[in-house]
A and B are shown apart, each in its own frame.
Chain A
Amino acid sequence: SYELTQPPSVSVPPGQTARITCSGDALPNKYAYWYQQKPGQAPVLVIYKDSERPSGIPERFSGSSSGTTVTLTISGVQAEDEADYYCQSADSSGTWVFGGGTKLTVL
């Protein structure tokens, strides 16, 4: 089955830039999406179609794509950004698939 691979954890000091990667063989041909999940809360969409930001999401969140890897970048990380982040895309049958998630720690 198709898999999206994320690092289990990323740590950055406040004010620095966090980069979370997601790798998958089909990513050159499929859009990627990113979700933020804080403890006890439902996931929230923060990036869609690789690099688009929904309304209400701070400008410090951005997305990019290069080959089989997509990257979520959080510039000027704040304490409130500490959360789990999940990438999502579609598999060969077009249905949804999630990465394993990355825990972002703001040191």
Chain B
Amino acid sequence: EVQLLESGGGLVQPGGSLRLSCAASGFTFTTYAMTWVRQAPGKGLEWVSGISGSGGSTYYADSVKGRFTISRDNSKNTLYLQMNSLRAEDTAIYYCAKADESGVGGSLDPWGQGTLVTVSS
């Protein structure tokens, strides 16, 4: 069974940093692109960042470009999101999700349970 488990969320002050992790199991991690998608309270889904299976290609939404860094450790089957210069508008539940075999832009399945990031003073 494919499982994704996020961790690392919490309360952080504006301008601060946080690193999210997503531990994956049940599939060959290196084969699949992975993504981060967020959902602000009461709002819709927003794609944040993606990374190829090898880690050689990374992709970012304009809203986080230059502040967030996605990475993966294929030896540990773990996906990361380093978030710097956090703003109030980054407050959201952050989900990691596995892309399908078509890679970037394809379907996302499954999703983790999410981790809440709150940016507030």
Q: Which of A's residues lie within 8 Å of B, judged by CB?
A: 1, 30-31, 33, 35, 37, 42-45, 48-49, 54, 84, 86, 88-91, 93-101
Contacts and interface: CB of A to CB of B under 8 A. Distances in A.
Interface residues of B, number: 23
B108 A96 contact: yes
A54 to B, nearest CB: 7
Given A33-B107, A44-B111, A88-B108, A96 B47 contact: yes
B100 A95 contact: no
B105 A96 contact: yes
Nearest to A89: B105
> Which among B44, B47, B111 has the highest number of chain A CB atoms within 10 Å?
B44
20 contacts: A31-B107, A33-B108, A42-B110, A44-B109, A45-B107, A45-B110, A54-B109, A86-B44, A88-B45, A88-B108, A90-B105, A91-B105, A94-B105, A95-B47, A95-B50, A95-B104, A96-B47, A96-B105, A98-B44, A98-B46
Interface of B: 35, 37, 44-47, 50, 59, 61-62, 95, 100, 104-114
